[in-house]
Amino acid sequence: MELRSIPALFAALLWLAGCTTVTSPLPAPRPLPLEGFEGSYSNFSQAIMADTPENIIDLEIERLGGVSFLLFRVTRTFRDSGVSQARLYRFDPAPDDGQAQLRIRILNEAQAAAELEELLDLAASGFDPGCVIALAVAEGRMRGHTDPATCRFAHPLHGDTGVFRQVAMGDGQLALDEFLVDADDDPVGELRRYVFDRHREFRAQGAFRLPGPDGELGPWRMSTVVEMRDDGRRATLFDGDGGPIGYSLQLARLEWQPQQPYYLRLAAYQVETGALQAYYWAEPDAELIEFNRDWLQIRVEDAARQASE
């Protein structure tokens, strides 16, 4: 993205956000639409479709509690390097119906591992008041942004720097847009955009007929049950004796065709070569996937569905 295009993008994002900044607490707070916000997320779909697998980030969102506010610890981990960073997200009700406030604080390594009591102390006073995000709440979704005129910090290279950070969440997704502007409101660097999808837990089992020396398919070998998510990670299969079967399974949300909605793709890979051997497309909300060929049988079931039976 060329830097000269960012100011126009900034104006467009401000128009889309359309939030009014509020500062005083509600006398009788309305419940915030944060049910199910905690969980495991990643930007696997975004990174793979952009052909940037090195940018895959896993996100763990843990609810910590709070009385007059809701507090979450959000930990980002780059899947390729294992480097992690944690943040506190504090949500407060705001005076007007359909409004809320979000405060975000980056934690250092010691703070990220702190006990709940210390994190609650940080949540009580450890936020920059100029970086509050006013969230508009409508139809179960929340969207808002910082004001770069008040959300500022001393950049080691560019001096006084403003932060535009937009947050949009709901329907199992968390989208973050961020870019910086210098003292003259000129862009610093490029827009960073992340789209994180919340993942579901699944249990999978497979059976395979492996070819023998003569090329003929041998007897069926059944794997043990493996736990996996629809986050693109590959789960290696083993038989009942702990021996490797030679295949791994992957479940991921991917575009079936370019510019089309995501579907669930169940894929079988050969472990030794990493080669894709077979795949099957399923609806994005599928709770049970069964994939059968003359040499493989795979059953993948949503863990919540299985627990309720």
pLDDT for 28-85, tens place per residue? Answer: 445 677 878 999 999 999 999 889 998 999 999 999 987 778 999 999 999 999 999 9
Q: What is the CA radius of gyration of the chain?
A: 23
* pLDDT score, position 102: 94
Judged against a pLDDT cut of 50, whether residue 20 lies above it is answered with no
**First-to-last C-alpha distance (Å) of the chain:** 50
pLDDT, position 295 = 95
Do 21 and 134 form a contact (C-beta atoms < 8 A)?
yes
The answer to whether residue 9 scores a pLDDT higher than 80 is: no
Strands of the chain (E only): list them. 39-42, 57-65, 70-78, 84-93, 99-107, 133-138, 141-145, 152-155, 159-170, 173-181, 187-198, 201-211, 217-222, 226-229, 231-238, 244-255, 262-270, 276-282, 288-292, 296-302
Query: In terms of domains, do 83 and 190 share one?
Result: yes
Q: Clarify whether residues 166 and 294 are in a common domain.
A: no
In this predicted structure, the answer to whether residue 22 has a pLDDT above a threshold of 60 is no
Predicted confidence band of residue 95 (pLDDT cuts 50, 70, 90): low
Question: Could you tell me whether strands 152-155 and 159-170 are parallel, antiparallel, or unpaired per DSSP bridges?
Answer: antiparallel
- Is residue 214 located within the same domain as residue 143? no
* pLDDT over 60 at 288, yes or no: yes
Single out the residue in 198, 215, 248 at which a domain terminates.
198
Owning domain of residue 142: 3-198
E strands, 199-261, are 201-211, 217-222, 226-229, 231-238, 244-255
Mean of pLDDT over the chain: 87
- N residues, the chain: 309
Looking at per-residue confidence, does 256 or 29 come out higher?
256
Residue 24's pLDDT is what?
39
List the one residue out of 262, 263, 294 whose CA is nearest residue 278: 294
The tens digit of pLDDT for each residue in 146-167 reads: 999 999 999 888 899 999 999 9
Same-domain check for residues 187 and 218: no
CB burial of residue 209 (10 Å; 0-12, 13-18, 19+) = middle
Give the sign of the dihedral formed by CA 181, CA 192, CA 127, CA 86.
negative
Whole-number Cα distances in Å, 170 to 71, 124, 139, 252, 277: 17, 25, 9, 20, 35
- The answer on 206 and 184 residing in a single domain is no
User: Is residue 124 predicted with pLDDT exceeding 70?
Assistant: yes
Determine the 3-state secondary structure of 59 from DSSP.
Answer: strand
Residue 179 and residue 91 share a domain: yes
Place of tokens 């497309």: 281
Query: Would you tell me how many other CB atoms lie within 10 Å of the CB of residue 221?
Result: 17
Q: Are 23 and 160 members of one domain?
A: yes
- CA quadruple 31, 35, 40, 46: dihedral, nearest 10: -80
Q: Name the domain boundary from 130, 165, 198.
A: 198
Domain boundary among 149, 164, 198: 198
Mean per-residue pLDDT, 138-145: 86
Question: Rounded to whole angstroms, how far apart are CA atoms 85 and 104?
Answer: 13
Question: Which pTM does this prediction carry?
Answer: 0.83
**pLDDT for residue 35:** 77
Asked if residue 184 and residue 37 are part of one domain, the reply reads yes
Same domain, 14 and 128: yes
In a shared domain, residues 62 and 135: yes
Least confident of 36-50, 119-133, 241-255: 119-133
**303 pLDDT higher than 90:** yes
- What's residue 31's pLDDT? 61
pLDDT of residue 285: 94
CATH number assigned to the domain comprising residue 106:
2.40.128.590
CA 132, CA 151: separation in Å to the nearest integer? 8
Q: Parallel, antiparallel, or unpaired for β 173-181 and 187-198? A: antiparallel
Examine the domain organization and report whether 129 and 261 are in the same domain.
no
Total structural domains within the chain: 2
Query: pLDDT class for 259, splitting at 50, 70, 90?
Result: confident
Q: What is the pLDDT of residues 188-240, one digit of tens each?
A: 888 999 999 999 999 999 999 988 888 899 999 999 999 999 999 999 999 99
Q: Are residues 231 and 183 in the same domain?
A: no
Rounded average pLDDT over 232-253:
96
- State how far the alpha carbon of 149 is from the alpha carbons of 8, 52, 183, 198, 237, in Å: 17, 32, 9, 32, 54
pLDDT score of 3: 39
